[in-house]
Amino acid sequence: NRVGGITEARKIWAMAAAKDLPVVPHGNDLHNLHLVFSQVNTPFTEYFPNVWDGGNTHFWDLYEGNPVVKNGKISMSDKPGLGYTLNHDVVDKLRAKRVGK
């Protein structure tokens, strides 16, 4: 998210909940989904499938364990932390190479 991290996002949710306002964050990345699933004032979430018209699949390629919708529902990962596994093959392809000396 772009609000300063998980702690700041939770503060926003708390302020909105105090006024009985819903919060629906942009993006379905696992860090946002952890927040969405833990809040009572989030009625739904945004979801982008891994192939979309914008053509930017770096995030989906860079991490394994991205959320997948099944029967209209998203399940959370049971892996430690946020549930991502870094795809080292993609990291190697994207890594900048030093040229010359």
Query: What are the residue boundaries of the structural domains of the chain, listed by start?
Result: 6-94
pTM, to two decimals: 0.68
pLDDT score recorded for residue 98:
78
User: To 10 degrees, what angle do helices 6-18 and 30-37 make?
Assistant: 30
pLDDT score recorded for residue 61:
81
Which CATH code, of 3.20.20.120, 2.60.40.10, 3.55.10.10, 3.20.20.70, is assigned to 6-94? 3.20.20.120
Residue 20 has pLDDT above 90, yes or no: yes
pLDDT score recorded for residue 28:
65
In this prediction, residue 52 has a pLDDT band, given cuts at 50, 70 and 90, of: low
- Tokens standing for residue 53: 């018209």
Residue 78 has pLDDT above 90, yes or no: no
Which of 14-23, 26-35, 43-52, 70-79 has the highest average model confidence (pLDDT)?
Answer: 14-23
Query: In 23-87, where does DSSP find H-type helix?
Result: 30-37, 58-62
88: annotated active-site residue: no
Q: What is the CA radius of gyration of the chain?
A: 16
Q: Which of 26, 31, 34, 58 is catalytic?
A: 26
pLDDT score recorded for residue 17:
96
In the chain, helix, strand, coil percent, each to 5? 35, 10, 60
